[in-house]
Amino acid sequence: MSTKIKLTIPCDEANHVCDKTQYKEASLWEMIKLNIHLIYCRACRKYTKNNTSLTNKLKESQVACLDKDCKEAMKKDFDKALIEHK
Amino acid sequence: MPNHQINPNKWIDLYSDYLFNYTISRVSDREIAQDLVQDTFLAGLKSMKNFKGEASERTWLISILKRKIIDHYRKTNSKKGKAEVRINYNDSESEGDWLEERVADPFDKTAEDTLQNAELGEAIHNCLEKLPKKQADVFKMKTILGHETEAICNELNITASNLWVIIHRARTAMADCLKENWF
């Protein structure tokens, strides 16, 4: 039985694959299984829809933030100023 | 009247991303934006006594940042030459060429689009601030900075499945938070 190909996946796995898809890290087979799951599962369809539009919004907004090194450098300079200030 | 406290020790952790995003949508150069944010923190530190506690810290810092951005544009403008008049189309051969220059660039974004993107970016940061710190950090590294899963796991010392659980929670929360206004 264990050699039988599984076509259905539970919801938590479907959501996990959906998250991975947002970062283009899901494999083709995983995506096929996700889509089969989406055919019959309304809750996951909703989650996938929201998740995809979140990704699109993030792309659209070109939101930016500082990476860790920048922040560290900033903190160093700022701490110096803090000490001088006191 | 709510009296807000000021505590510069936490400024960089709490507000640097928000201020940076605010700046970059207005100056569109990472390095300049970073300098302006840094200047803002230093200026804020200097004029801490003037903080009356009527607005939140973030609003107060943004108001300083706005002045800094204006100053930045003033400075770059004063470096430019004085107004110059160019006459390009003075011979009869190139007559009418100016028409071509007036055609809208289809790939150019309208001012409204840019404005909307800036607002959306600010909304995203507002939602990010509501997340628990760890979720927000992981989400930023993965989604906005685009780091590899493995790199994040190594840096934060978590397993991959742990990371995906955090990402899942963060994405659900972010989608809920943005849903009301943006979806």
Question: Are B168 and A16 an interchain contact pair (Cβ–Cβ within 8 Å)?
Answer: yes
Residue A66's closest chain B neighbor by CA?
A: B17
* Three-state secondary structure string covering B66-93: HHHHHHHHHHHHHHCCCCCCCCCCCCHH
Residue A73 CA, chain-centre distance (Å), reads 28
**Beta-carbon contacts below 8 Å between A and B:** 95
Q: Which residues contact A12 (CB under 8 A, 6 or more apart)?
A: none
Q: Residue B28 to residues B20, B87, B147: CA-CA distances in angstroms?
A: 10, 31, 22
Amino acid at A60: E
Instruction: Enter the pTM of the model.
Output: 0.76
pLDDT tier for residue B82 given thresholds of 50, 70 and 90: low
Q: Which of A20, A50, A62 sits opposite B175 (nearest CB)?
A: A50
| pLDDT one-digit tens code per residue, B97-152 | 667 667 766 666 677 777 788 888 888 888 988 889 899 989 999 988 888 888 89
| pLDDT one-digit tens code per residue, B143-183 | 888 888 888 999 889 998 999 999 999 999 999 998 877 76
Amino acid at B101: E
Taking CB atoms and an 8 Å cutoff, what residues of chain A touch B155?
68
Contact between B128 and A58 (Cβ < 8 Å): no
Which secondary structure element, helix H or strand E, spans residue A55, and what is its range?
Answer: helix A42-61
pLDDT at B84: 60
Distance CA B48, CA A2 (A): 68
Question: Are B121 and A63 an interchain contact pair (Cβ–Cβ within 8 Å)?
Answer: yes
pLDDT at A22: 93
Residue A81's closest chain B neighbor by CA?
A: B42
| pLDDT one-digit tens code per residue, A18-69 | 999 999 999 999 999 999 999 999 999 999 999 999 999 888 888 888 887 8
Distance CA A16, CA B96 (A): 59
Distance CA B180, CA B40 (A): 32
- Tokens for A56, please give them: 């699109």
pLDDT of A2 higher than 60: no
pLDDT at B70: 92
Question: Are A19 and B167 an interchain contact pair (Cβ–Cβ within 8 Å)?
Answer: yes
Contact between B138 and B152 (Cβ < 8 Å): yes
DSSP symbol at B144: I
Q: With H, G, I as helix, E, B as strand and everything else as coil, classify residue B104.
A: coil
Taking CB atoms and an 8 Å cutoff, what residues of chain B touch A58?
124, 143-144
